[in-house]
A and B are shown apart, each in its own frame.
Chain A
Amino acid sequence: MIDPQSAPTTDDIAALVALAARGDVSAFEQLYTKCAGRVYAVCVRMTGDPQRAREYTHDAFVRAWERLSTFRGEASFETWMHRLTVNVVLTATRGERRRAARFVATPDEPAAETDMALSTPAPDVETRVDLERAIAALPPRAREVFVLHDVEGYRHEEIADRLDLEASSVRANLHRARRLIMRMLTR
């Protein structure tokens, strides 16, 4: 019996994964309990939207449930879950951008975004925006790059690969994100 109140060991996690892969929902609930905060944090920071973060967190765990049999244990379950979550978010946001692009220019077009965002006056010094809110207010692409690099610790090359961008574009988005955040934080 695995005590859900104590931190599961690696062996516990492996046992839970094995049980869940055989259809044990209670075992999967324990995995959910262990990872939900981490998964939701990635989702809410990458989307800047609690409702979408909730949906993507839901989707990530449902997808994990469906793919548990592919988990080989080469990385930790949390790492596997984290990568799966990033994939869920990026796939969804990519689809949203494609749909948006059918009707209007994407808000991530560099020129338009830079002109608009950087010309916005800095917020009142009296109303400092905290970092989480500043991240949420970033343009979508800049937010994704900032979260993956500065919060999650991905390297430029990894981000370029995941987002299907040139490394130079990753750097440009990251620099823009930092500038905007510092401005929102009135730095």
Chain B
Amino acid sequence: MTNHLTWEILNDYVDEVLTPAERAAAEAHVRECETCAAALTELRATVAEARALPATVMPPDELWNDVRATIESRKVAHLPAGMASARSHARGWWMTPGKLAAAAVVLVAATASLTAIAMNARVSQTTVVVQGTPSVTVSASWLASERAFQQNVLELREQLEVLHDHLSPATLVKVERALATIDLAIAEGREALLRDPANAALSELLASNYRQKIELLRRMTQLASS
């Protein structure tokens, strides 16, 4: 027998997408042709092996920690205390500029009571009352620093939003992960400072984390625009 079944016919036969007439013709051919029968057997074996592959492959153990860090940081970055009910409206950090601005304002307002306590104890103090939070005595200069930081982050993120397509998804994932790690460190630094407001080392560490975030965003913006 010389006119063997084509590779396409053999595959369609295995996938059961031939018409009844085509299927009958293929079956008749296979009954007579050892070559095509052997090819069909091998093809079926390959497909069966694929379908029998394990349904699960376990990811690296530490992956959950990365996932957790990211979602925790987003809670910190976009959902300051008292705003948890708005979580379903939160997005990743590639938000629209308008939403980013709104998030930044909320972040500044609602977290100022935490962040302002320790960073500059030597300057004049002022009392800030944020709706829904207890009034606390904070550093006026730190409030200004915090706003400047947030504004800087906002502007850099807006630039990155515009340049989004110039970076590969893999790079974006790495940047996002790095930002998540920094955000987590910032959040932990704030909590630590709240417990120990006079700790200068913690203050410097927190400031360093802020600078690191700005620097990362700045570098990515430069990379994307180059």
Contacts and interface: CB of A to CB of B under 8 A. Distances in A.
Interface stretch (A11-19, A56-64, A105-113, A120-128): A56-64
Interface stretch (B24-32, B69-77, B122-130, B203-211): B69-77
B72 to A, nearest CB: 7
Contacts of A146: 50
Interface stretch (B133-141, B152-160, B169-177, B181-189): B169-177
Q: Name the residue in B11, B43, B45, B57 with the highest tally of chain A Cβ atoms < 10 Å from its Cβ.
A: B57
Contacts of A153: 51
Contacts of A29: 64, 68
Given A99-B168, A187-B46, A54 B59 contact: yes
B17 interface: yes
B168 A61 contact: no
Interface residues of A, number: 50
B88 A69 contact: yes
A25 B71 contact: yes
Contacts of B75: 23
Contact of B57 (A37, A52, A68, A131): A37
The number of chain B residues touching the other chain, given as a range, is 35 or more
Interface string B54-94: 11111110011011101110110000000010011011100
Nearest to B75: A23
B22 interface: no
Contacts of A53: 59
A152 B72 CA distance: 32
Contact of A58 (B50, B66, B72, B91): B66
A52 B170 contact: yes
Interface in B1-46: 7-8, 11-12, 15, 17, 42-43, 45-46
B53 interface: yes
Given A23-B87, A41-B57, A151-B51, A66 B92 contact: yes
B46 A65 contact: no
A41 B56 contact: yes
Contacts of A38: 55-56
A135 B51 CA distance: 13
A55 interface: yes
A158 B103 CA distance: 39
A99 B167 CA distance: 9
A165 interface: no
Contacts of A83: none
A36 interface: yes
Nearest to A174: B11
Nearest to A95: B169
A62 B64 CA distance: 10
Contacts of B173: 55, 58-59
Contacts of B162: none
Given A22-B84, A37-B59, A175-B11, 20 more contacts: A23-B75, A29-B68, A36-B58, A54-B59, A57-B59, A58-B66, A58-B67, A61-B67, A65-B67, A68-B88, A69-B88, A95-B168, A95-B169, A156-B17, A171-B8, A178-B46, A178-B47, A181-B46, A181-B50, A187-B46
5 nearest CB pairs, A to B? A37-B56, A40-B59, A150-B50, A69-B88, A41-B57
